[in-house]
Amino acid sequence: MTLIIEKDYGTPEKKSDKSIDLNIDGKSVTVPEGTSIMRAARTIDTEIPSLCASDCMESYGSCRLCLVEVDGVRGTPASCTTPVAQDMQVKTTSDRLTKIRRGIMELYISDHPDEDSPLNDMAQLLGLKENRYGKQGHNHLKSVIDDSNPYFSFDASKCILCARCVRACEEVQGTFALTVDGRGFDSKISAGTDQSFLESDCVSCGACVQACPTESLFEKRVVDVGKPDHSVITTCAYCGVGCGFKAEMKDQEVVRMMPWKDGQANHGHSCVKGRFSWEYAIHEDRILNPMIRDNITDPWKEVSWDEAIEFSASRLKAIQKEHGIKSIGGITSSRCTNEEVFVVQKLIRAAFQNNNVDTCARVCHSPTGYGLRETLGTSAGTQTFDSVMETDVIVVIGANPTDAHPVFASLMKRRLREGAKLIVIDPRKTELVKSPHIKANHHLPLLPGTNVAMINALAHVVMTEGLMDQDYIDERCDTEAFNTWRDFVVDPINSPEKVEQYTGVDAAEVRASARLYATSGNGAIYYGLGVTEHSQGSTMVIGMANLAMATGNIGAMGGGVNPLRGQNNVQGSCDMGSFPNELPGYRPVVDDVARGAFEKDWGVELDSVPGYQIPHMFDAAVAGKYKAMYVQGEDVAQSDPNTHHVEAALGALDCLIVQDLFLNETARFAHVFLPGTSFLEKDGTFTNAERRISRVRPVMDAVTGMDEWEVSCRIGRAMGADMSYDHPSEIMDEIARLTPTFKNVSFDRLDELGSIQWPCTDEAPDGTPIMHVDGFVRGKGNFIVTEYVPTTERSTRKFPLILTTGRILSQYNVGAQTRRTKNNVWHDKDILDIHPHDAENRGIIDGDKVLIQSRMGETVLEARISENMQPGVIYTTFHMPESGANIVTTDNSDWATNCPEYKVTAVEVRQTNHKSDWQEEFDGFSSSTRHIAE
Amino acid sequence: MINIYVPRDTASLSMGADEVAAAIAKLPEDINIIRNGTWGMTYLEPLVEVETNQGRVAYGPVTVSDVQSLYDSGFLSGGDHALCQGLTSEIEYLKNQDRLTFARCGLTDPLSISDYKKNDGFVGLSKALKLSGNDIVDEVTTSGLRGRGGAAFPTGIKWNTVLATEGAQKYICCNADEGDSGTFSDRILMECDPFCLIEGMTIAGIAVGATKGYIYLRSEYPLCKENLNEAIKIARSEKYLGDDIQGSGKSFDIEVRIGAGSYVCGEETAMLESLEGKRGMVRAKPPLPAHVGLFGKPTVINNVISLASVPIILAKGGEYYKNFGIGRSRGTIAFQITGNIKQGGLIEKAFGVTLNELVNDYGGGTYSGKPIKTAQVGGPLGAYLATDDFNLPLDYEAYSEKGLVLGHGGIVVFDETANMSDQAKFAFEFCAIESCGKCTPCRIGSTRGVELLDNLGAEGNMALTQELCDLMDTSSLCAMGGMTPIPVKSALKHWPQDFEKS
């Protein structure tokens, strides 16, 4: 294995129908019109020296090393900024050019330290013999290194002012945190307004570090560990964007994660989490040995794998014997690979012999699966990420991509800077509403819980003002369903003026937004958990699909209804049959044909009755009917709503098996702990939000001594099921064999194509970037009436504020990973955001401790006054276990899928000076249940 | 009532014109003081003019303490006085000029739109409103007008490119970032005849289909800002700007934007960056601003004088304008003589005049009275001319052949005491201070140049200086770094003895 060095063509690829032929150093080359001379030369491996050029950003023309000679052209044009012309004759080397290049390099070296550096290497390569200016003149050699960022440093003494960092921050990331300050010789790279990197707006995405040609910006880890010697291509294990990375290794040690240019989801970009925050995988908190205990009050006892598996299997069997087949079940993880998830659901269906399997998608995107399947026919987003580059008007609903899906947000921002219009529907002023070079055309700050009223109002405007695409509807949608829906939405009860009483949003803004979406060309809807985590989550998903169909925005590049998936493999875990009513590929367990195929392949009889969803598991546990659970890579005790109820359920179990990297909150109630593997040890696949299946490749051996899929299989075998595989690729082969949409997927094909977007069938052997192109998967597009039914959770005199929750860039979900990285410098506690008006009324000032009370419970957080909030709505994140955000959330849920209504909780807040009772107990209980025997 | 003209431009004001006007106003007579612009004879400022039956009689330079003696000499009826210069129109310095672009400067009250109209104002625009874009561009092309900012690119060709480029929005940008040392013609035009610039920009807008114009004005010109903004307001209220100009159905409006004190923002692409609110750094070309200019839209960028020359071209025809000048340098150019000179000022002449005529006949030799050593022509990036070259016709091509530049017409005169290695070092220093820092040769090279000349006599320094000049010349991104070697090399060539270690 070698270190992968990606080719840099110097300037971005240009697309043109017109080809240009030219001649470079006697070699002919044909490139699209608009291509730079530099790029043309590099396509035929003619290397022109350069420092300021990179194909990730527009040409800049600052270093002047790439000058060339062109017949008939006076002077020496820069090859990076000069476009090719027909029959151009270019010379890239000559005595004159050599003299210029050495002259430039001599100037650089006159202000550059004498040490091993890429610039000194290049000077040598260019044949620079001496520096006649000396180094005694004005220089930057004594610049102070900015070490403030936890992951990288900036050493201005090596900086050549090529501004690649600044341009990467602008063009690639879209944050505009960096600038060139001062002018002439005193020019310097400045983060923010002469702040340190940490104090500035820098989001630590790493684009600048990656772009720097002189190692003036450098990863601290490269200094600590040394230079990498080989790379492994793999996939990030954070959000649903699924970025491709090169794990750059030195022996078995990861030096750094570098975004992979050929990664189709990220095209060489990254965010702070994927790029830097992977060190949790080698954190000392990781549990490396299996552990068991009889009671949760006992200390943990480390045991061998054999003993742990035998202990688990015999306990589960005993419970089934005493309480019945259906008294046990499990939860699959959206963090794990498709192969790992598949074997867990197989374990439950084939070995437990019931359908008590659910997944954490229950609490995030289950309404997406339901709503999109009912309307369009497929439980997945319709587009490939790159589709946004052809979108004319982007609608973002209940999503905060700059924090939660940063790499896709950068792509979206790039399109917005190109002039696409933007409508943001969100209770909060998110970054997309207004940030450097981004300003939403409309922000509709609706009251949490009123999404459906809003989507109906938008549809009302489209239908009553004749803005729909009737030809599209006639051709592709079910007429009867459409007519029923149309009659419903045109009813004046759905007009913007009427629904204003619920949403609180100015009707004129709603009308203008509807017109903009319907009439501006390609319209695309992107949404997140602000849509799904409501009592009408599924209704809202249906409402968005209705609107997109009515305006003809599904089935082509630039359009679509696109869920922004929260976890790396939440799409995959759903695809893999993690729901109690669905086998892999979303086929109902009640369907005899589908079930029959699995029974035949697995050689067992399967239960035809759907099993428990997660909330039902908890209810049944509290009721004493459900006695054992196998929980893979999910921390339900922290992540699921109404913590008191969840803890009561977990505490009532006779056997809780937790498979995870860390002793998480759920593990406090566990009897068996099976140490899991991090993504750096896994061999398998993840499926991202655009249905893209990518390979996850192990860069090191499993530090636990056993692969996670093998652990599940062994328990299955110990319980009598035939679950044997020699390699995870065989699991994928089984998935492909049993799942029509995965028919042609295999590890070999993935290695060949890089990644594959399902469906991958005989008709689409290379996968399907855009769904529903020639018609909807379900046949005719199905319009469904979406009546607005207000949630029962509403503000009252006692609980006058609405609490809503979300995520922040530097932390990830329950924080199990990111809390164990240096990311805590940006966010070490959850904060409650409150509008100045609400704060003033309660005498709350910035930094006060405040008690948040709902009808479910109470917790204490620090308050921050924020005008990003609207009066009456407060907000917090839920990354820290001790915050207890889910102590206050309710057990309301989506009517169709039981996805919890996290986004709406009626609360009151007041100043306090101590922790809540739960928080006090949490501290004690937390340590007492984590004790490991010596 | 007696009409008395007291100029109100920056040069006159700096010499006490306001105080002089106040003193005259206190005289026990029925006096109407008109604050006109300057005629450009800065050595006579403040130049007070009294309107008589014979014409305007000039007195200057007038100080407050002169007012009583002028009054006593009967200046209110054109009486003789030591400061009397005779009839303004007969002053040799002025009489022999070719006043086309600056025809109204000094003559009128800059903010009187009726003065402007009375003196051929808006004749060009009225014609243009009846013409097609192509016809207007043809007229400008015929005139042979070339960019007066210094690059001398044919204005007609530039306009035609923008006209031919598709664009829902186009812009006219007036480069009023007059930063060359020894230049002030833009300032005088904007202070003294702002309507002329407004008219020129409006014609440009109508010609190429632009509806919005920006004047990028250097921050050091507060009076220009005041006068331009006032004139724009007046023009709007008189329907010469805004929607439906003079009932033509055509629209154009102008906004003044103030720079932040950077020389390089006079470079057209850096100016665009600055106008867009960004750091003033040079853009690589292509794309040309005519294709991808301000906010990415097709944009005409012209200097103040280029645009202010357009009204007369439209009014009198391209042929009329073309009849001035020689060779490929047609029309007139406003020379500005400063430095060690007896009679500094603005001289608008047809191309072809020589430096000798300008500095000796008009300028009257050095202020110090010592022999002239050199003159730097074309701003801080222009060459220092040996007196042998003072007989060259001032013509773009004739100068260019000798490696000289006309630039924006600035001429700075030095007497024999000037040390040319100091002047060469000044060129590097200027570049080091004003470089935007984008390209390596300009950013680092200029500083190294200063250091080399700080260390005269060191082994190999002169050879390295020559080499550095060649490097900056061939490899810089824009004219800032590319032309800095011009003054350095000219000094090295003509006065090598000044570079010997003292």
A60 vs B284: CB contact, 8 Å cut-off?
A: yes
Q: Please name which of A191, A182, A112 lies closest in space to residue A148, comparing C-alpha atoms.
A: A191
Which chain B residues have a beta carbon less than 8 Å from that of A68? none
Prediction pTM value: 0.93
Extract the runs of DSSP E, i.e. beta strands, from A119-273.
Answer: 152-154, 178-181, 188-191, 217-219, 230-235, 244-250, 253-259
Interval A894-924: pLDDT, tens:
999 989 999 999 999 999 999 988 888 887 7
Tell me if B164 sits within 8 A of B133, measured CB to CB: no
- Do B390 and B427 lie in one domain? The reply is no
Read off the pLDDT band of B285 (50, 70, 90).
confident
Number of domains in chain B: 4
Which residue, among B448, B453, B461, B466, would best test binding to A if mutated, counting the most A CBs under 10 Å from its CB? B448
Angle at A204 between CA A199 and CA A209, to 5 degrees: 115
Which residue in B446, B448, B471 is closest to A184 by CB distance? B446
Residue A926 has pLDDT above 80, yes or no: no
* Nearest residue in A to B454, CA atom: A137
Which chain A residues have a beta carbon less than 8 Å from that of B448? 107, 110, 133, 137
- Do B195 and B247 lie in one domain? The reply is yes
- Do B433 and B373 lie in one domain? The reply is no
B370 vs A151: CA distance, rounded Å: 67
Task: Count the neighbouring beta carbons within 10 Å of the beta carbon of residue A920.
Answer: 12
Which chain A residues have a beta carbon less than 8 Å from that of B483? none
Say which residues have a Cβ less than 8 Å from residue A672's Cβ, sequence separation at least 6. A290, A291, A292, A308, A311, A312, A315, A655, A656, A657, A658
Mean pLDDT of A20-45: 97
Q: For A560, phi and psi rounded to 5 degrees? A: 100, 170
Which chain A residues have a beta carbon less than 8 Å from that of B435? 183-185
B18 vs B45: CA distance, rounded Å: 12
Which residue in A81, A83, A185 is closest to B443 by CB distance? A185
Which chain B residues have a beta carbon less than 8 Å from that of A139? none
Give the distance from residue A134's alpha carbon to the nearest chain B alpha carbon, in angstroms.
Answer: 10
Q: Would you mind telling me the total number of residues written for chain A in this entry? A: 934
- Do B209 and B303 lie in one domain? The reply is yes
* Nearest residue in A to B481, CA atom: A184
Give the distance from residue B451's alpha carbon to the nearest chain A alpha carbon, in angstroms.
Answer: 7
Q: Please name which of B379, B332, B442, B339 lies closest in space to residue B103, comparing C-alpha atoms.
A: B332
Give the distance from residue B219's alpha carbon to the nearest chain A alpha carbon, in angstroms.
Answer: 18
Which chain A residues have a beta carbon less than 8 Å from that of B464? 132-133
Which residue, among A11, A64, A214, would best test binding to B if mutated, counting the most B CBs under 10 Å from its CB? A64
- What percentage of chain A carries pLDDT values higher than 70? 100
Q: What Cα–Cα distance (Å) separates residue B292 from each residue in A36, A78, B165, B166, B201?
A: 17, 19, 9, 11, 19
* Nearest residue in B to A112, CA atom: B444
Q: Tokens 């006096």 identify what position? A: B31
DSSP conformation letters of A191-235: ETTTB-TTTSS----SHHHHH-SSSSEEEHHHHHH----EEEEEE
In a domain, B107, yes or no: no
Q: Are strands A873-877 and A801-806 parallel, antiparallel or unpaired?
A: parallel
CATH of the domain at B488: 1.20.1440.230
pLDDT for the residue A930: 80
In a domain, B214, yes or no: yes
Q: Are strands A831-834 and A873-877 parallel, antiparallel or unpaired?
A: antiparallel
- Do B344 and B467 lie in one domain? The reply is no
B437 vs A185: CB contact, 8 Å cut-off?
A: yes
Residue A1 has pLDDT above 80, yes or no: no
CATH of the domain at B397: 3.10.20.600
- Do B328 and B389 lie in one domain? The reply is yes
CATH of the domain at B43: 3.40.30.10
SS (HEC) of A709-761: HHHHHHHHHHCCCCCCCCCHHHHHHHHHHHCHHHCCCCHHHHHHHCEEECCCC
Which of B56, B91, B126 is where one domain is finished?
B91
- Do B192 and B49 lie in one domain? The reply is no
SS3 B384: strand
SS3 B39: coil
CA neighbours closer than 13 Å in the CB half-sphere of residue A233: 18
CA neighbours closer than 13 Å in the CB half-sphere of residue A117: 21
B446 vs A185: CB contact, 8 Å cut-off?
A: yes
Read off the pLDDT band of A110 (50, 70, 90).
very high
Q: Tokens 């915050």 identify what position? A: A883
Interval A425-481: pLDDT, tens:
999 999 999 999 999 999 999 999 999 999 999 999 999 999 999 999 999 999 999
Tell me if A124 sits within 8 A of A153, measured CB to CB: no
Mean pLDDT of A240-265: 96
A542 vs A525: CA distance, rounded Å: 12
Report chain B's terminal Cα–Cα distance, integer Å.
65
Which residue in A62, A83, A137 is closest to B440 by CB distance? A62
* Nearest residue in B to A102, CA atom: B471
B447 vs A160: CB contact, 8 Å cut-off?
A: no
Report chain A's terminal Cα–Cα distance, integer Å.
40
Give the distance from residue A170's alpha carbon to the nearest chain B alpha carbon, in angstroms.
Answer: 12
Task: Count the neighbouring beta carbons within 10 Å of the beta carbon of residue A798.
Answer: 11
Read off the pLDDT band of B502 (50, 70, 90).
low
- Do B194 and B230 lie in one domain? The reply is yes
The size of the A-B interface in CB pairs under 8 A is 105
Give the distance from residue B168's alpha carbon to the nearest chain A alpha carbon, in angstroms.
Answer: 14
Residue A15 has pLDDT above 80, yes or no: yes
A103 vs B284: CB contact, 8 Å cut-off?
A: no
Asked if omega into A759 is within 30° of 0 (cis), the reply is: yes
- Do B87 and B153 lie in one domain? The reply is no
Structure tokens at A125: 């390569």
A244 vs A258: CA distance, rounded Å: 9
- Do B157 and B180 lie in one domain? The reply is yes
pLDDT for the residue A527: 97
Which residue in B284, B433, B474 is closest to A184 by CB distance? B433
Extract the runs of DSSP E, i.e. beta strands, from B79-237.
Answer: 84-87, 171-176, 212-217
Write out the residue range of the structural domain in which residue B359 sits: 324-415
pLDDT for the residue A330: 97
Which chain A residues have a beta carbon less than 8 Å from that of B279? 179-180
Here the ipTM equals: 0.91
In a domain, B287, yes or no: yes
B136 vs B412: CA distance, rounded Å: 36
B212 vs A605: CA distance, rounded Å: 77
Mean pLDDT of B215-244: 97
Q: Please name which of A185, A223, A219, A214 lies closest in space to residue A122, comparing C-alpha atoms.
A: A214
Say which residues have a Cβ less than 8 Å from residue A830's Cβ, sequence separation at least 6. A861, A876, A877, A878, A879, A880, A883, A885
Interval A669-710: pLDDT, tens:
999 999 999 999 999 999 999 999 999 999 999 999 999 999
- Torsion over CA: A910, A912, A917, A923 (sign): positive
Task: Count the neighbouring beta carbons within 10 Å of the beta carbon of residue A492.
Answer: 9
A82 vs B286: CB contact, 8 Å cut-off?
A: yes
Which residue in B279, B284, B447 is closest to A185 by CB distance? B447
A107 vs B436: CB contact, 8 Å cut-off?
A: no
In a domain, B99, yes or no: no
In a domain, B103, yes or no: no
A104 vs B477: CB contact, 8 Å cut-off?
A: no
B→A interface, C-beta within 8 Å: 262, 264, 279, 281, 284-286, 431-448, 451-452, 460, 464, 467-468, 471, 474-477
Which of B321, B338, B354 is where one domain is finished?
B321
Interval B411-461: pLDDT, tens:
999 999 999 999 999 999 999 999 999 999 999 999 999 999 999 888 899
Residue A931 has pLDDT above 90, yes or no: no
In a domain, B207, yes or no: yes
In a domain, B96, yes or no: no
Interval A476-502: pLDDT, tens:
999 999 999 999 999 999 999 999 999
Residue B347 has pLDDT above 90, yes or no: yes
Per-chain mean pLDDT for chain B: 96
- Do B295 and B366 lie in one domain? The reply is no
- Do B207 and B287 lie in one domain? The reply is yes
Structure tokens at B495: 């006065």
Q: Tokens 């853009």 identify what position? A: B283
CATH of the domain at B177: 3.40.50.11540
Q: What is the dihedral of CA A168, A169, A171, A176, to 10 degrees?
A: -150
pLDDT for the residue A813: 86
B471 vs A76: CB contact, 8 Å cut-off?
A: no
Mean pLDDT of A225-251: 96
Q: Are strands B372-377 and B384-386 parallel, antiparallel or unpaired?
A: antiparallel
Which chain B residues have a beta carbon less than 8 Å from that of A61? 284, 438-439, 477
How does DSSP classify residue B354? B
Question: How do the residues of chain A divide into helix, strand and coil, expressed in percent and rounded to 5?
Answer: 35, 20, 50
A546 vs A478: CA distance, rounded Å: 12
Helix or strand holding residue B346 (H, E): strand B345-350
In chain A, DSSP finds a helix count (H) and a strand count (E) of 30, 36
A180 vs B451: CB contact, 8 Å cut-off?
A: no
Mean pLDDT of A820-835: 95
B439 vs A62: CB contact, 8 Å cut-off?
A: yes
Q: What Cα–Cα distance (Å) separates residue B296 from each residue in A135, B288, B467?
A: 42, 10, 38
In a domain, B106, yes or no: no
Domains in chain A, please, with CATH?
19-125 (3.10.20.740), 152-282 (3.30.70.20), 291-297+326-365+569-638+645-662+680-739 (3.40.50.740), 370-563 (3.40.228.10), 801-928 (2.40.40.20)
